[in-house]
């Protein structure tokens, strides 16, 4: 199986999920689904279809899309099952990882909403 996401890769999500993420959810098949869902959510919530224009986007926009998608997908990996993380560390560490990923995801969405609105107006 190969990466099927547009914005992010399995390896990028795995790095963000970090050590001791659940072995079931931290594999390519699951992560491909999580990335696909994240990309769709990003497109809808920002009001712009970044998937359709990704190839021609500026590198900075691509990196923000990557960060947003990989952060949300990593949250899905971590949320699948806390037990593997908590067995090695603590539930607080798992929750901290999710909080950091969510904070950055929300910041990326703010940027993308503004950029998407500007693009929509320019394209009209």
Q: What is the pLDDT of residue 121?
A: 57
pTM, rounded to two decimals: 0.90
pLDDT tens for each residue of 10-44 = 999 999 999 889 999 999 999 999 999 999 999 99
pLDDT tens for each residue of 43-56 = 999 999 999 999 99
Q: What is the pLDDT of residue 88?
A: 66
Domain layout of the chain by residue ranges: 10-117
With helix as H, strand as E and coil as C, how does the chain read? CCCCCCCCCHHHHHHHHCCCCCCCCCCHHHHHHHHHHHHHHHHHHHCCCHHHHHHHCCHHHHHHHHHHHHHHHHHHHHHHCCHHHHHHCCHHHHHHHHHHHHHHHHHHHHHHHHHHHHHHHHHC
pLDDT beyond 90 at 119: no
Q: What is the pLDDT of residue 115?
A: 85
């Amino acid at each position: 199986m190969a990466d099927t996401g547009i914005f992010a890769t399995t390896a990028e999500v795995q790095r963000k999920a970090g050590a001791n993420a659940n072995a079931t959810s931290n594999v390519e098949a699951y992560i491909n689904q999580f990335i696909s869902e994240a990309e769709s959510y990003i497109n809808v919530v920002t009001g712009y279809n970044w998937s359709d224009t990704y190839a021609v986007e500026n590198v900075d926009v691509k990196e923000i899309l990557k960060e947003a998608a990989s952060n949300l997908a990593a949250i899905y990996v971590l949320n699948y099952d806390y037990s593997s993380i908590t067995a090695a560390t603590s539930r607080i560490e798992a929750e901290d990882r999710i909080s950091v990923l969510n904070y950055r995801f929300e910041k990326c969405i703010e940027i993308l909403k503004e950029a998407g609105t500007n693009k929509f107006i320019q394209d009209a």
